[in-house]
Chains A and B, each alone.
Chain A
Amino acid sequence: MNAGRSGKVELKSNRIALSDGIFLNIVETDKFKSNLLTVNFIRPLDKAEVTMNALLPMVLERGSKSFPTKLLMERKLEELYGASLDLGSSKRGERQLIKASIEWADSKFTSDKKSGKEAINLLKGVLFDPVIIDGSFDDRYVEQEKRILISRIRSRINDKRNYAISRCIEEMCKGERFGIYSLGYEEDVEGIDGKRLYEQYRNILMTSPIEIFFVGNLHGLELDQLIPAELYNRRDILLIPREVIPENNLSKRNVEEAMSVSQGKLVLGFRSSIPYEHEHYNGLLVGNELLGGGPNSHMFKTVREEKSLAYYASSRLIKHKSIILADAGILFSNYKQALDLILDQVARLKSGDFSDEDLQIAKKSIENSSRSIVDSNQMISEFFLGKVISNDERSLEDMLSELGKTDRNKVIIAMDTVTLDTIYFLNGKEGETDEENLE
């Protein structure tokens, strides 16, 4: 887009098939002062296992055979110059990812030559060599982590903006896998014990597609050692289907919930019928950016700057489901005005009421954030994982070049498929008015 750019983005990963369903992706670079190794187990998002999958990384993190207590493990991590071990689960479209990573400072700066090997062994131990007694995880740890998981599930209400977003998705996608809450369900936690969790752990090891990423300086490290021998003979690897984009399945819900809050949270859920594989998807990407992608977007300029209705007013596009969520934090009494104004902005995009300059700005903004991927080892890993999950073989440059070709017409065509599905409003409790809150 601009001839004056200094240097092209070099983003290449060496992808090696270790065995059926296990891939090692290596991005060698000496740009960072640390090295990052990430292992992803990919699961279908499924009510039957979502809760166990959320609990499993919490239990694994409690210790391994080499470091049987968390205390010993934490102290070892400190010895490794504060290496950070991170385990968790998350939702990506209608998949659940169980992710484990370790990042350690490069030996060039710490002059500790063993740290890389030790960090890798630590991660290997946590993932593949946990303490197992009679085919069961230690029930004491399992019970403790179950309590913590329940408290994390409940703590969803603490962050009101994210709560409103996740409630909107839940209502909008009732009956779809995407409506499943990523941390699982309180009522499903109780039935899990050490034995049941161990069975699921074995199931995950033997059937999940596994994607491993390394970003950094190899210094001769042998990464294939990470995977234990038994995983080289897996059969029955899961085939995880692509998400469903429902057609004519608009639920048209209008959901209001009352809570003791000072600010109302309005979330609008829209659906498009264009899947991310389609050539018109870029139109949707740019359309969403124009709608509420940043401070130059229509929502920011009208809801916030012109009408002073909100501090935040933005939209996001959920790639795997072709869903746009637009949200704003407002006075309760401004509900109607904010709702109409946001709907107006969508209508404007459908009718082509946006300037060529705003179109260019929206494209540039997406380009700018895509280009900065190369400056973060975490984002590099995420980028390549995203490509694997969405079966996308294009390079970053290919993607950006296609984005660059998105013209006004493509945006209009894409936005024309966008229809309102669900309105969610987090309201104050009865008897609480804005005036009272404003004192």
Chain B
Amino acid sequence: MKKIWNNTLDEGLIHLQLENGINLYYYPKKGFTKKYAIFSTSFGSNHTSFIDNSNGKIIKLPNGTAHFLEHKLFEDPDRNIFERFAKYGADVNAYTNFDQTSYLFSTSDNFYDSLSLLVEFVQNPYLTDENIEKEKGIIGQEIQMYRDNPRWRVYFNCLSAMYHNHPVKDDIAGTIDSISEIFKEDLLLAYNRFYHPSNMVLFVVGDLELDRIAEAVNKASRGFPADTVIPVKYYPEEPSIVRKNFIEDYMSTSKPLFYIGYKDTDPGKSGKASVKKDIVTNMLLDVLLSESSEFYQDVYSQGLIDSSFGAYYSGKSDYGQSMIVGQSDDPKRVYQLVIELMSNKMSLLSEDAFLRVKKKEMGRFLMGLNSVEFIANNLTDLYFQGFYLMDYLDLLSETTFEDLLERFERHFSSGESVLSVIWPEGMVK
């Protein structure tokens, strides 16, 4: 047992490595009624290509495999998993993103039974040709729903213009075509390679007892061969330049929507360095573009943007991008203004602004800790990057104005950017 504690917050994590190989972390949240557990594997939509352990060849699964598998783990020979959770009064859900698949539930009651069920169903797939075919109709409608979402489309168009080969350019759920090619063998292959306890983590948050948590997990977990080697994920070579600078499309939307993307030409970091880059880049974007910036207020007063305007960085060790997003009658003009801002050579970066934004980040992180979902989801995300949420405040206070200046130079000087626009249908530009 290991305790990872933050004394300022007087909150932290207790880690247990269970005999069956599961990494269990418990974050006590005294006085909270809601209890939350999230069981995740480091296998997301970006990981459909990997290197076969036996012969070193690259295996490519259809796009959307990770998400399809997420749907299918809810099958059970006897009784639907949703119903079994519902019986305990627990809300169960799951999500797949670029880097992970997570299964989770929250409840105020019957927590330990629900926890056993979570571990049990994720560790016992029940896949039949028939139930896989049935799911294609449901996932098909999920894909169509996203197709009709202009914000989703403008985002993925931006990624597809930015990346030549990296799978982050592909939609997480795949396409109607790609899911039609997903069969039982594909799902089982993905499951057997990536759902091994050594590739997974379980976080539990709430007012609970550690012994009973461990007991519930042990009771439900089945054995996995200890010598399993998780395959090496394969990413095709990705040039540091963007594929193209401009991409556009038409949809039924009220106003043109835009995403301006800056490609991270400096990936490859992991652990603390990667999280620090994330923090510094987001602070940088806040200083330059948030509501407290002259740029924002100026462009807002000109009527070029509205309060939907915002900017954020997201990235992992193998990809990353800053996104500047909003709606505007003249997105090309906004793009031009952003480019001018970024070529201004730091004249707009002041230490005052940096200190203000740093305070803001600290306060917002503290407010996040009010929510068990925020805690558990961020614990998971940071864990897969090799970092503990508890150390976030310390890392934040370590950042300096010099970090910001250096990051500005690295990230924005290359000018590798993309403008993605969704125009309202029938609009004449």
Contact = CB atoms under 8 A, between A and B. Distances in A.
Interface of A: 1-2, 4-7, 9, 31-34, 69-71, 74-75, 77-84, 103-106, 109-110, 144, 147-148, 151-152, 154-161, 259-263, 294-296, 300-301, 304-305, 307-312, 329-331, 357, 360-361, 364-365, 367-369, 371-372, 374-377, 437-439
Contact of B80 (A81, A305, A330): A305
B141 A33 contact: no
B322 to A, nearest CB: 20
A306 B426 CA distance: 39
A355 to B, nearest CB: 11
B327 interface: yes
A161 B149 CA distance: 10
A296 B86 contact: yes
B331 to A, nearest CB: 14
Contact of B254 (A155, A261, A365, A377): A155
Identify the interface centre among B9, B291, B370: most chain A CB within 10 Å of its CB: B370
Q: How large is the interface on B (under 10, 10 to 19, 20 to 34, 35 or more residues)?
A: 35 or more
Contact of A364 (B109, B251, B301, B357): B109
Contact of B90 (A80, A82, A368): A368
A161 B147 CA distance: 13
Contacts of B139: 311
B418 to A, nearest CB: 22
Contacts of A69: 297
Identify the interface centre among A74, A81, A151, A439: most chain B CB within 10 Å of its CB: A81
A148 B307 contact: yes
A375 B34 contact: yes
A300 B82 contact: yes
B292 A78 contact: yes
Contacts of B357: 78
Contact of B87 (A1, A33, A330, A361): A361
Interface in B133-152: 134-142, 144-145, 147-151
Nearest to B140: A438
Interface in B335-368: 356-357, 359-364, 366-367
Contact of B145 (A82, A329, A375): A329
A138 B140 CA distance: 51
Contacts of B106: 372
B138 A308 contact: yes
Interface of B: 8-9, 31-34, 80, 82-83, 85-87, 89-92, 106-110, 134-142, 144-145, 147-151, 176-177, 207, 251-255, 290-292, 294, 297, 300-301, 303, 306-307, 327, 356-357, 359-364, 366-367, 369-372, 425
B371 A74 contact: no
Contacts of B87: 357, 360-361, 364
25 contacts: A4-B109, A33-B369, A34-B363, A71-B292, A71-B294, A74-B292, A81-B363, A81-B366, A105-B363, A105-B367, A109-B366, A147-B303, A152-B306, A158-B254, A295-B82, A295-B83, A301-B80, A304-B138, A305-B80, A310-B138, A357-B87, A365-B91, A367-B109, A371-B34, A437-B144
